[in-house]
Amino acid sequence: MKNQQTVVAVVPAAGVGSRMQADRPKQYLLLNGKTILEHTLNALISHPAVSRVVVAISADDPYFFSLPVANAPWLTVVTGGSERADSVHAAVITLCEHEWALVHDAARPCLDHHDIDNLLMVIEDSKVAGGILATPVRDTMKRAQVSGGDPVVRHTESRENLWHALTPQLFRAGELRQALAEGFSQDLAITDEASAMEAAGYRVALIDANPANIKITRPADMPLAAFYLQQISLQNQ
Ligand SMILES: Nc1ccn([C@@H]2O[C@H](COP(=O)(O)OP(=O)(O)OP(=O)(O)O)[C@@H](O)[C@H]2O)c(=O)n1
Ligand SMILES: C[C@](O)(CO)[C@H](O)COP(=O)(O)O
């Protein structure tokens, strides 16, 4: 069937980056001479399996169209929404239903092609609807007791079979679009594509991935991401 193996990257880039406390949304902060968003778009479109990219930006984004990449023939721009899931949905509805949506945070520029290769293998796995890059939790996990003052430990959570979900997350566009719509209608907290797919009853593969694929969230993440980007650049030489 047409489009069954076509992979389209979907990049939610409409956030404000409030936790970064910068003078602009974090995806437009510079790392090693380029914006975080440019690094992320390049990491995706330079992979041979990625045919094109759909990026969701905020309606009042004053930065995006000043970037050289804004005129790329392989790039489609849509208007994002109030939550990340709304931005993803706005992009996914532009795909054909049998195309594969490779959804990846704009804020994760340290993505290497080896991890994309491993994730794409789920396309051949009939036992799952898709998959996500993830890393096993390393630290002891504490549940906090919130009682108005400084947080204190309520209890220690078991970290057995506990993983950090990363992105990209890969699903058929038609199934993901439907799962997101159902999640919206049920007021689900959809913080990643897999949570919508899980709620819709699909099996989702966990693909053990490079922990360098961090989501740039707070100022302390910037020097670490700069280092990881340099390491990826050296590996690709
Ligand atoms: N309404 C939104 C919110 C977030 N995102 C995107 O989703 C990704 C992951 O979200 P997060 O790291 O939370 O980014 P922000 O929401 O911008 O950060 P913060 O929560 O600190 O404001 C980011 O690339 C962000 O641009 C989006 O496209 N649309
Ligand atoms: C999608 C994600 O990056 C997986 O860990 C994460 O859920 C995004 O959360 P955020 O609060 O929108 O950054």
Coil/strand/helix, residue 115: helix
Mutate to test the pocket of ligand 2, among 20, 111, 192 (most ligand atoms within 8 A of CB): 192
CB 26 within 8 A of CB 216: yes
- The pLDDT tens digits for 58-102 are 999 999 999 999 999 999 999 999 999 999 999 999 999 999 999
Task: Tell me the Cα Rg of the chain.
Answer: 18
- Quote the pLDDT of residue 2: 52
CB 198 within 8 A of CB 179: no
In a domain, 139, yes or no: no
Complex confidence, ipTM? 0.98
pLDDT at 185 over 80: yes
Q: Which residues contact 124 (CB under 8 A, 6 or more apart)?
A: none
CB 204 within 8 A of CB 122: no
In a domain, 180, yes or no: yes
Mutate to test the pocket of ligand 1, among 16, 39, 92, 192 (most ligand atoms within 8 A of CB): 16
In a domain, 140, yes or no: no
- The residue range of the domain holding 74 is 2-132+165-236
Domain count, the chain: 1
- Quote the pLDDT of residue 3: 58
- Ligand number, closest to the Cα atom of 13: 1
Which residues have any ligand 1 atom within 6 Å of their CB?
12-19, 27, 56, 80-84, 87, 105-107, 215, 217
- The pLDDT tens digits for 22-41 are 999 999 999 999 999 999 99
pLDDT at 161 over 90: yes
- The pLDDT tens digits for 98-150 are 999 999 999 999 999 999 999 999 999 999 999 999 999 999 999 999 888 89
Pairing status of strand 30-31 against strand 7-12: unpaired
Supply the CATH number for residue 209's domain. 3.90.550.10
In a domain, 114, yes or no: yes
Two tokens, residue 69? 């990449």
In a domain, 19, yes or no: yes
Percentage with pLDDT > 70 across the chain: 98
pLDDT at 237 over 60: yes
In a domain, 159, yes or no: no
In a domain, 155, yes or no: no
pLDDT band with cut points at 50, 70 and 90 for residue 5: confident
pTM (predicted TM-score):
0.97
For CA atoms 237, 42, 207, 171, the dihedral sign is negative
| Atom 18 of ligand 1: nearest residue by CA position | 17
In a domain, 176, yes or no: yes
For CA atoms 219, 224, 227, 231, the dihedral sign is negative
Q: How far is the C-alpha of 138 from the C-alpha of 111, rounded, in Å?
A: 20
pLDDT at 234 over 90: no
Q: How far is the C-alpha of 124 from the C-alpha of 27, rounded, in Å?
A: 33
